[in-house]
Amino acid sequence: MAEYEKKVRKILKENKCYFVRRGKGDHDIWKSPVNNRSFPVDGKIKDRILANEVMKQAGIKYHF
């Protein structure tokens, strides 16, 4: 199974998204300057669909 978590965080940082705080469980809360929205990022993204959903919430046009 592919591991998307590191790739997702790298792309978020490249797009000026930033870590805000720890969330519940193994989730972190990030903020996107693209759409001025906060969104959760799971610590274990092993699914392409979930990785794409994080990109969508961040307002980043990137698809795995």
Domain boundaries, the chain: 5-58
At residue 33, what are phi and psi to the nearest 5 degrees?
A: -75, -15
| 26, 41 contact by CB (below 8 A) | no
Chunked into runs of 10 residues, the chain (64 residues) has average pLDDT values of: 88 97 93 96 92 97 94
The pTM of the full predicted model, rounded to 2 decimals, is 0.89
For 54, the token pair is 């994080």
pLDDT score recorded for residue 1? 54
Distances (CA, A) of 63 to 23, 24, 26, 59, 60: 25, 26, 23, 12, 9
Whose tokens are 């797009």? That residue is 15
